[in-house]
A and B are shown apart, each in its own frame.
Chain A
């Protein structure tokens, strides 16, 4: 930053002598070193996240003991006991099964519709306009807001649930898939056409795998939306259905002031969400997009 030299004479670097070393083999220190065990351990995701969960459980248990009112806030121990009871006598498992069956029906229907809509959108201008208009209209609309209408149309039962589930999955899934297709590099498209691929085989062999990161994130978002929509919908109208799912279990037990069972139901909702996210989707990602270097 010596402005004097800038302003004064022109910058002339000094002429230094040249040198030309013959380098001896490098032996002073190892080129690679193994990190210490503690550092490697701390890099494990599950360990750090597990510690956070343990801390939250301790906080919860502490609060519950300080409050000392099982009707308002049962502790971790009481919740686990209720959860254990529910799982052992089969009631909770049955509720989960009912919920998941409905959920999967809605989820799969939503995905299929999303693929149809996206295929239309990538192939025609009309499809593009249709997709962008529909998603702009319906994506912000909470699925649960359609429930009264669904009940009117499809009556009490799984038909209405599947209708709102489709609504919650279809739009985010279609948006993500479409964005994924749009993001396929032009060179890769040309390479695919160069092989003589066209029509459905072009979509299946080039577009879908190339858009898989976006499709996967659509599947994940769709799953989360569907799961929370289902539980909410069951809380609203499961009350009039004979065989309710997990949401209905929560609602029923709140009415009867079994707060520990309410907590057990909530814990199960969270756990199922975590398992699907961290085991099912994570395994799928590891086998596909991560292995291919398409996602970190």
Chain B
């Protein structure tokens, strides 16, 4: 019964031209007028201030962040280290309580971590080493009581196949390379079919070639069956390639500096003039001098 809802995934996965169709889907998004997207957001971050405590002091990680993430968005949080982008993602995942403001998913306030917001972390040790690849993907489905044993295994196999790890389904994580481990984490997250898939610098620990391939695969997975993605990175190129919208955070504490659209770019546009312009634009915002004075006027406005 539960598979009826995902028939479309299967249908597209079996389709030999799924990639071509997917790119068309992304083209569609390009053609849409910006006003057409004025539906109510799926994930709403409203005036969120986050603080963390060290033994000596309380540090403000982000200050009154407002962001709206819509269904089907590939929303990127971009910023230098110390801008609180990872902290913000963890707050949206429910690991950290905001001291001010509210995060709502589908109108319901986020209070604790849950299987409707699965996080893919940067670190490879997010996979329990005592479970095989197949068990790793099926485990959260069982733990969240979403599916029975057989259905969980079936769905796990399906998503393992999607990330191309079927030959390694019975391997243990320590037998895999870094890129393969991240693929398992992505398969595990997708198998849960969360409302929002969250990725915290998922490719930062990979070598450049693997990173490029993982970005490509992530986009083609999205093309096959769009999901809502919240993606944290410190790489301008990655932000532009992966995201359809990029929020730029300024550091100490994190505040939203700007939001740009990047739906026009993918991996093939990296060399293009427009892409380089966009990189330059983000680069100048990221490295502008004395952001404090300028940003303070923005906040008061």
**Highest count of chain B CB atoms <10 Å: which of A195, A210, A291:** A195
Known A187-B126, A194-B118: A292·B143 in contact at CB below 8 Å: no
Q: Is B149 an interface residue (CB 8 A)?
A: no
- Chain B residues contacting A288 (CB-CB under 8 Å) are 130
- The reply to whether A294 and B113 form a contact with Cβ atoms under 8 Å apart is no
Asked if A209 contacts B128 (CB within 8 A), the reply is yes
Q: Which of A191-230 contact B (CB under 8 A)?
A: 191, 193-197, 201, 205-206, 209-210, 212
Q: Is B99's beta carbon under 8 Å from chain A? A: no
Interface residue? B121 (CB, 8 A): yes
Q: Does A190 lie within 8 Å of B174, measured CB to CB?
A: no
Give the distance to chain B from A186, nearest Cβ to Cβ, in Å.
Answer: 8
CA distance A206 to B139 in the complex (A): 11
Is the beta-carbon distance between A193 and B113 smaller than 8 angstroms? yes
Closest-CB distance, B113 to chain A (whole angstroms): 5
Which residues on A sit within 8 Å (CB–CB) of B129? 210, 292-294
B175 beta carbon closer than 8 Å to chain A: yes
- For A148, list chain B residues within 8 Å (CB): none
User: Which residue from B90, B126, B175 sits with its C-beta under 8 Å from A188?
Assistant: B126
Chain B, residue nearest A186 (CB): B123
B295, chain A: closest CB distance, angstroms: 30
Are A195 and B123 also in contact (CB < 8 A) when A292-B129, A292-B130 are?
no
Contact (Cβ within 8 A) B172 A196: no
User: How far apart are the CA atoms of A238 and B95 in the complex, in Å?
Assistant: 57
Inter-chain contacts of B93 with A (CB < 8 A): 190, 194
Report if A188-B119 is in contact (Cβ < 8 Å); known contacts: A194-B93, A194-B113, A293-B175.
no
Alpha-carbon separation in the docked complex, A287 to B285 (Å): 54
B47 on the interface (CB 8 Å rule)?
no
Grouping DSSP codes into helix (H, G, I), strand (E, B) and loop, the A interface class, with mixed when no group exceeds half, is helix
User: CA of A196 to CA of B116 in the docked complex: distance in angstroms?
Assistant: 9
Q: Judge whether B37 is part of the interface by a CB distance below 8 angstroms.
A: no
Given contacts A196-B113, A196-B115, contact A185 B123 (CB under 8 A): yes
CA distance A14 to B99 in the complex (A): 61
Size class of the contact patch on chain B: 20 to 34
B121 touches A291 (CB 8 A): no
A190 to B90, CA, bound (A): 9
**A185-B123, A187-B123, A195-B144 known; A293 and B95 CB under 8 Å?**
no
Provided the pairs A291-B172, A292-B174, A293-B173 are in contact, do residues A187 and B121 lie with their beta carbons within 8 angstroms? yes
Residues on the A chain within 8 Å of B115, using CB: 194-196
User: In the assembled complex, which residues on chain A have CB atoms less than 8 Å from the CB atom of B139?
Assistant: 195
0/1 string, A282-296, CB within 8 A of B gives 1: 000000100111100
Complex Cα gap A212–B128 (Å): 12
Which of B113, B127, B143, B175 touches A190 (beta carbons < 8 Å)?
B113
B144 partner residues in chain A, CB cutoff 8 A: 195-196
Interface 0/1 of A81-104, CB less than 8 Å to B: 000000000000000000000000
Residue of B nearest to A185 (CB): B125
Complex interface: chain B residues within 8 A of A201 (CB): 143
Q: Check B125–A188 contact: CB distance below 8 A.
A: yes
Q: Is the CB of A196 within 8 A of B143?
A: yes
Residue among B95, B143, B144 facing the most chain A CB atoms (10 A cut-off): B143
**Taking the complex as formed, is B107 at the interface, i.e. its CB lies under 8 A from any CB of chain A?**
no
Bound together, the chains give a CA A206 to CA B126 distance in angstroms of: 11
User: When the two chains form their complex, are residues A292 and B118 in contact, meaning their CB atoms are under 8 A apart?
Assistant: no
Whether A212 contacts B125 in the complex (CB less than 8 A), given A190-B95, A194-B118, comes out as: no
CB distance from B139 to the nearest CB of A (A): 7
> Chain B contacts of A206 at CB under 8 A?
128
Q: A293–B174 contact, CB under 8 A?
A: yes
Question: Chain B: which residue is nearest A289 at the CB level?
Answer: B130
User: A288 to B128, alpha carbons, bound, how many Å?
Assistant: 13
Provide the bound-state CA to CA distance between A206 and B173, in Å.
15
B105 to chain A, nearest CB (A): 14
- Chain B residues lying within 8 Å of A212, measured Cβ to Cβ, are 130
> Contacts of B113 on A, CB cut-off 8 Å?
190, 193-194, 196
State whether A292 touches B121 (Cβ < 8 A).
Answer: no
- 24 A-B residue pairs with CB within 8 Å: A187-B125, A187-B126, A190-B113, A190-B126, A191-B121, A191-B126, A191-B128, A193-B113, A194-B113, A194-B118, A194-B119, A195-B115, A195-B139, A195-B144, A196-B114, A196-B115, A209-B128, A209-B130, A210-B129, A292-B129, A292-B174, A293-B173, A293-B175, A294-B174
If A210-B130, A292-B174 are given as contacts, then 7 extra A-B residue pairs at C-beta distance below 8 Å, sorted by A number, are A188-B126, A188-B128, A190-B93, A194-B117, A195-B139, A201-B143, A210-B128
Please name the 7 residue pairs, one residue from A and one from B, whose CB atoms are nearest each other, closest first. A293-B174, A195-B140, A195-B143, A187-B123, A185-B125, A193-B113, A292-B130
